[in-house]
A and B are shown apart, each in its own frame.
Chain A
Amino acid sequence: MSNVDRSTPPPAGPTPRIALPRVERTRAASGMRVAATTSDATPELLLELALPSGRVREPLGREGLASLTALMLEEGTRKLSTVEFVDALDFVGAHFAVHSDDDETTLELRVLERHAERALELVGDLLLEPRLGEHEFARVREQRRAALRSRSDDPKSVVNDVWSRLYWGRSTALGSAGIGDEESLAATALDDVRRFHAAALAQPRAWRCSGVCRGGLEQLLGWLAPLEARLAQPAPAAGAALRETWSEPSPLERKRSRIFVCDRPGAPQSELRVGHPSVASSHPDWLALSALNLALGGVFSSRLNLNLRENKGYTYGIRSSFEGGRRPGAFSVGTSVDTRNSAPALREIVRELEGFTAGATAEELAFVRSSLEQALARQFESPAARLSFVSTIERLGLRDDYPLQRLAWLADATPAASARVLSEHLHPGELLVVVVGDLTAVGRELAELGLGSPVKVDARGDERRG
């Protein structure tokens, strides 16, 4: 005899008490904003130091400069060569990396508490006295050349690059691949790198430091004290600030759908990206949109994935997002589908978007509400998850209780309310559609989708003539 009832899902126990990580913040004497929370999981320091030197500040013609500067920052200090610097960090078992995105260049450190002081000394050297030498630059540029050459090997990179170009246009660095192109690389000199970094160094008020450790902000400030002392010294050569180069995403001007194809003869799958410009994270509707997206394509059990994967078998997976960010980020859907189902997949995607403008159902709203509310119990367990919470708030300027803000909206949301938000922000008649796939195999069907006549583009997203 069974002593359990398998016929229906068992009831849950009492909901656990949920506490968001408490974010403490201050502005250090240098002007740098410092924010931290605690974690007892491990005796470690996790830290990210973000400088205001992202792609959006790359001068036109120097696309790729931010990521090139990030690479050059990993090439040693005035005192230590590349290898000596890495050896020194390895000796304390630290994980360290420098990377750049649209807005920032971020130095990322994770190290056991007992080595935090030494690791931060090394990171401070790298930040304030980077080598940025000719010899290293020649090598990094050579490696960048190889990376550019291989860039189009991966259709996932190609679809990103084509999308960026068509989304942002050519008047901003955001409209190029993050690593730039052959021309911009050839035009970039070591002095550009030095100036780019110096400009970021000159404005510590625009730096942000997020950290997680057992002792929270106070402990973090203790570790940052030597860096602060160095920042109090007069800067050797203050750089001029760099301007942001972006303007509104280009498709905003167009009120119809357009489809672009980058040909990959013989490809067994097509990469698809479908979407349009949407709102920045500061927009009052962004939290609601990010919640509603769960039902559309944010999780496995969403409309898009259930239809295109679990019903049709066109793909291994499909997701959508309202990207947000500091600028109007895209709403987009991304997936890889087998070649012969490229056009049917696009048709289904458009159909799902059209359907979703009518709003989420009451069941979907209940699902989203429950999912987001319950997930709070497990989302802040690991130190990395806690750092990500702090860092997201600092980066996007969200409120410390933004997950609760979103829940508050959901608590009152009805299908009609969701329809109002979605019909304002989802535009299935104004889609930018990018296909990276076998044009001979799919071209004719794509032309019959009612998305306009397919325009052939190269791997950078530029229209091909002839």
Chain B
Amino acid sequence: MQRLELREHVLSNGLRVLLHPARSAPVVSLQLCYHVGSARELPGKTGFAHLFEHLLFQGSEHVASDGHFRLITQAGGTLNGNTSFDRTHYFETLPANQLELALWLESDRMGFLLGGLDQRKLDNQRDVVRNEKRQNYELRPYAKAHEVLAAALFPSEHPYAHLPIGTHEDLISATLDDVRAFFERWYRPDNATLALGGDFDPDHALERVAAWFGELAPGGGFTRPAPQPHRALVEQRRTVEDKVQLPQVTLAWPTPELGHADETALTLLAMVLSATRASVLDRALTIDELLAKNVSCGAWHGELAGRFVITATAAAGVELARLEARIRELLANLARDGVSAAMLERMRNCAEAQFIRSLDNVSSRASALALSDVLRGAPLGFLSEYETLREQTPAHLDAVLRRYLIDQPPTVVSVVPAGASAA
């Protein structure tokens, strides 16, 4: 791994600034991560952080309503934003000579959003977001399970028990006052990290960031939320009907938060189970026994908690109960026999190569720095994903397998063809 060049600063208003100069291409990427996601939404106001993200692309006091997309695209750039449980992330990557444009746009919506906001924009983006929900969660096969899984995996009061997309009901009830209050509370320089990557002089860049952002008022009183790991005590089971031909089963377990000592072992365990066709679950279910059409597995870690998820779609004619039982048996067998050293070595090599690939451009690197700073409290914290790979032993993987997947009951969500759940 090459060393990542990094300079860190904090402006007097609390905005954290990360500078990653890299001269490999005449590009500059600005990544701005606000420490607010759906986990900080209040009851009855789900979907708010994400709806709000949409409104940030609707102009601000000095920027016309279509300005963000138009000006950046016209300048040859790309841009977008996304919202997760923990944070809302905005970014644009431009030719290096357009740094000022990015700073102007981002600082205007951080400091002067409300001047450009009105009811028509809210109504329009509410319609857009509801169409996003229909497209990605209602029409996409099996996607209805996501909402059900989140609610079943965590207790109802847990911040991860609802998805960032929110409910139609809450989206409909959002008012302009709600939006204003959300902005005033969370969109403050001292609740954000700005990372710049690319071809710039760091002294000059810092001076320009300070010029555009330094005068924006801090909110004060921001603290890092404490992790809220959850441990399941009883098995939860849910069934969802969907317009699908083949049933699908998801087994999920709550796991610890980002940065926990077990993080890397869980990531590698997910790969051992289902990174490639030779992985434990893929091989058994889709090659040797033909029980599943496909299987996938992922270990995700947020700042409050994590989750480990296995999803398998049954092969034609295979009962879902049989598929689920076989998955549980395969996990038990792996816990009994242990992860082999050769298997671990292969997955470690895959993980290392993936990590290097994932950082092959300044936008990805600046993004990783900003996200890591917000979620791990250290911009280079994400490197631990790479650095701790070599420390993992088969015994570590066996231990996390037992601790989280064997000695803890799963949450099981079944998606069955519409009309089949009564059977």
Contacts and interface: CB of A to CB of B under 8 A. Distances in A.
Interface of A: 2-4, 6-18, 40-42, 44, 74, 82-83, 86-87, 89-95, 110-112, 139, 142-143, 145-147, 149-150, 152-155, 264, 267-269, 299-301, 306, 309-316, 336-338, 367, 370-378, 380-385
Interface residues of B, number: 83
Among A40, A44, A139, A378, which residue has the most Cβ atoms of chain B within 10 A?
Answer: A378
B287 to A, nearest CB: 6
B8 interface: no
B290 A142 contact: yes
Contacts of B73: 299-301, 367, 371
Contact of B349 (A93, A149, A367, A383): A93
B75 A370 contact: yes
Contacts of B395: none
B350 interface: yes
Contact of B352 (A93, A301, A377): A93
Interface of B: 24-27, 61-62, 65-67, 69-71, 73-78, 93-101, 103-104, 107-108, 112, 123-132, 134-136, 138-141, 199, 211-212, 215, 243-246, 275-278, 283, 286-287, 290, 293, 313, 315-316, 345-347, 349-354, 356-357, 360-362
B128 A16 contact: no
Given A41-B24, A313-B131, A338-B131, 5 more contacts: A9-B101, A86-B276, A93-B352, A143-B315, A306-B66
Nearest to B316: A146
A265 to B, nearest CB: 9
B360 A90 contact: no
Among A87, A93, A371, which residue has the most Cβ atoms of chain B within 10 A?
Answer: A93
A415 to B, nearest CB: 18
B27 A377 contact: yes
A142 B293 CA distance: 9
19 contacts: A4-B212, A10-B100, A10-B103, A12-B97, A13-B97, A93-B352, A139-B287, A142-B316, A146-B316, A149-B316, A150-B245, A267-B139, A313-B123, A314-B131, A316-B136, A337-B131, A338-B130, A371-B76, A378-B27
A93 B67 CA distance: 43
B47 to A, nearest CB: 14
B131 A4 contact: no
A93 B98 CA distance: 37
B96 A268 contact: no
Contacts of B128: 309-310, 313, 315-316
A10 B101 contact: yes
A150 B62 contact: no
A45 to B, nearest CB: 11
A16 B96 contact: yes
Given A41-B360, A41-B361, A42-B357, A378 B277 contact: no
Contacts of A18: 26
Given A12-B97, A146-B246, A268 B138 contact: yes
Nearest to A376: B76
Given A11-B100, A374-B75, A315 B131 contact: yes
Contacts of A95: 353-354, 357
B26 A377 contact: yes
Given A40-B24, A269-B135, A377 B357 contact: no
Nearest to B136: A316
Contacts of B126: 313
A44 B101 contact: no
A312 B124 CA distance: 7
A380 B125 CA distance: 34
B315 A142 contact: yes
A13 B26 CA distance: 12
Contacts of A374: 74-77, 94-95, 98
A338 B134 CA distance: 8
Contact of A139 (B244, B290, B354): B290
Contacts of B211: 3-4
Nearest to B352: A93
A19 to B, nearest CB: 9
Contacts of B215: 2-3
B104 A10 contact: yes
Contacts of B97: 12-16, 377
Contacts of A315: 128, 131
A16 B95 contact: yes
A146 B323 CA distance: 15
A380 B212 CA distance: 29
Contacts of B24: 40-41, 381
A83 B283 contact: yes
Given A4-B212, A17-B26, A143-B286, A153 B244 contact: yes
B94 A91 contact: no
A381 B346 contact: no
Contact of A377 (B95, B136, B138, B362): B95
Contacts of B360: 41-42, 44, 382-384
A147 B377 CA distance: 44
A82 B76 contact: no
A376 B26 CA distance: 10
A428 B276 CA distance: 46
Given A42-B357, A150-B141, A383-B360, A316 B75 contact: no
B27 A381 contact: yes
Contacts of B74: 301, 367, 370-371, 374
A147 B316 CA distance: 9
Given A6-B108, A149-B316, A375 B77 contact: yes
Given A83-B283, A310-B124, A12 B131 contact: no
A89 B349 CA distance: 10
B293 to A, nearest CB: 4
A15 B356 contact: no
A384 B358 CA distance: 11
A382 B140 contact: no
A313 B75 contact: no
Nearest to A139: B290
A336 B139 CA distance: 10
A444 B78 CA distance: 41
A158 to B, nearest CB: 11
Nearest to B125: A313
B196 to A, nearest CB: 14
A396 B17 CA distance: 44
Contacts of A7: 62
A6 to B, nearest CB: 4
Contacts of B354: 93, 95
B135 A381 contact: no
Contacts of B357: 42, 44, 95, 110
Contacts of B129: 316
A338 B126 CA distance: 13
A264 B134 CA distance: 14
A300 B58 CA distance: 12
Contacts of B77: 374-375, 378
A380 B136 CA distance: 31
A181 B127 CA distance: 37
Contact of A13 (B99, B130, B140, B278): B99
Contact of A149 (B112, B132, B246, B356): B246
A147 B286 CA distance: 13
A276 B42 CA distance: 48
Contacts of A153: 141, 243-245
A79 B45 CA distance: 59
Contacts of A382: 360-361
A365 B131 CA distance: 31
A383 B287 CA distance: 33
